[in-house]
Amino acid sequence: MKLSDARVVIEGLIFASEAPVSAQEIAAITELDVSVVESLVEEIREQHAQGALMIRNVGGGYQMVTKPGLAPWIEKLGRPVVSAPLSAASTETLAIIAYQQPVTKAEIEQIRGVRSDSAINNLLDRELICELGRKAGPGRPILYGVTEKFFEHFGLRSTDELPLKGITEWK
């Protein structure tokens, strides 16, 4: 077997193995020296330098995994995809958060006059708002604010760019 072929075989073995596969196991299957296997694994690593995958050493073997930076995207796999527009309740809640951030749930409910838990959860799911921390004082309520994604969607740089942002003297 040519070394270039061996490299491909090793890549396939590491990908397909249920458990991490050791250099010794690979050497036994490919009939190569362990040292050759190890240097070929290094070559495969270099090959994947620009891609999504990497080979990590784990439990005495090699295992192919995605690079850590991809986790936020990969976590979204298998989730249902929803394209429903925002409800009126969520839109109201989003408006209040955008103009008043950082703001607590109680403050939002005072303005809207109704409970807003489900609207807040919906906005969190849509990643339009996030928790900014906790307010000092009794109960230390969670403070909400809008996210990068919110700014992206409306083409804004910051909340200062919201129309008529100045009108907050009653606050």
Partner 1 sequence: MGYVIELDVYQGPFDLLLDLVAKNEVDLWDIPIAAITEQYLAYLYSLQEKDLAITGEFLVMAATLIRIKSRMLLPQEPPEDETLEESEDPRTELVQQLVRYKFFKEAADFLQQRYAEAARQFTRGQRIESYDLAPVYTCPVGELTLEELRSIYQELISESEKEPPVHTISSTISLEERLALVRLQLMGQPRATFSELVREDSVAEIVVTFLAVLELARLGEIRLIQTKSFGEIDIRPLELEVEVQA
Binding residues vs a copy of itself (CB under 8 A):
8-13, 15-19, 21, 24-25, 28-30, 47, 50-53, 64, 66-67, 70, 73-74, 76-79, 81
**Least distance between a copy of itself and beta carbon 76 (Å):** 5
Residue 119: φ, ψ to 5°: -65, -40
Partner that binds at residue 51, options partner 1, a copy of itself, none, CB closer than 5 to 8 Å by kind: a copy of itself
Question: Cβ distance 97 to 144 under 8 Å?
Answer: yes
Q: What is the residue-wise DSSP string for 12-59?
A: HHHHH-SS-B-HHHHHHHHT--HHHHHHHHHHHHHHTTTSSEEEEEET
For residue 82, the minimal CB distance to partner 1 (Å) is 4
Our finding on whether 154 is near partner 1 (CB under 8 A) is yes
> Running DSSP on this structure, what letter comes out for residue 116?
-
Distance CA 4, CA 40 (A): 9
Number of residues lying near partner 1 (CB under 8 A): 64
Contact between 54 and partner 1 per CB under 8 A: yes
Among 66, 117, 131, 140, binds partner 1 (CB under 8 A): 66
Residue with tokens 């950082």: 102
Question: Of partner 1, a copy of itself, none, which one does residue 47 interact with (CB within 5 to 8 Å by kind)?
Answer: a copy of itself
Q: Which range of residues in 3-11, 43-51, 106-114, 131-139 is near partner 1 by CB under 8 A?
A: 106-114
Asked if residue 72 has a cis previous peptide bond (ω within 30° of 0), the answer is no
- The residue among 102, 92, 87, 88 whose CA lies nearest residue 159 is 102
CB 106 to partner 1: min, Å = 13
Of these, 50, 59, 71, 138, which contacts partner 1 (CB under 8 A)?
71
